[in-house]
Amino acid sequence: MLTLERLRADHADALLAFERENREYFARTVPDRGDAYFADFTARLEALLAEQDAGICHFHVVLSGEGRLVGRVNLVDVEDGCAELGYRVGEKAAGKGVATAAVAQMCQMAGAAYGLTSLVAITTLDNLASRAVLERNGFAVVEHITIDGRPGIRCRRPHLGH
């Protein structure tokens, strides 16, 4: 059973370890966060928590049934009942339905806890796993875009759970 927890300061050590452990894995499909992200991690986390407190974003960690941090699911740029969904699951949890389940929980939470009515998400065309997660969770392609010079899509999911 997966659990989504709203990001808190006491997640810092586990989150930093997760990002370090999966840095190379993530860089295969999404742009690398860069060395500055890790060097300035504490300041970055404080900034994220301030954005969350202001209601601009909602950041979450994904915990396994054993309480281990296995992923992240975030809602950013909250405005007019909509937010952009972002997610990442660590290599050890990949391919096991974790992202699909975490996104499903976030879609429910987005409506029920945050009062959102729709979500958007982007992914590259070659990221088949991410595209499958979005499709399984009711997202539909609304636009073809370019992401860091690569072909991609923007998807939308209306009708969030309340």
d(CA 86, CA 130): 10
Cα-based angle 86, 90, 93 (whole degrees, multiple of 5): 115
Q: Where do the domains of the chain lie?
A: 3-158
Stated pTM of the model: 0.93
Query: Does residue 106 register a pLDDT over 70?
Result: yes
Residue range 76-94, pLDDT digits in tens: 999 999 999 999 999 999 9
DSSP single-letter state for residue 113? T
Could you read off the pLDDT of 27-59 as tens digits, one per residue?
888 778 889 999 999 999 999 999 999 999 999
Instruction: Please enumerate in sequence order all residues whose Cβ is within 8 A of that of 124, keeping only pairs 6 or more positions apart, or say none.
Output: 29, 130, 147, 150, 151, 152
- Per-residue pLDDT at 161: 61
Mean pLDDT to the nearest integer, 137-144: 97
Q: If you classify domain 3-158 with CATH, what class do you get?
A: alpha beta
pLDDT average, residue stretch 60-76: 97
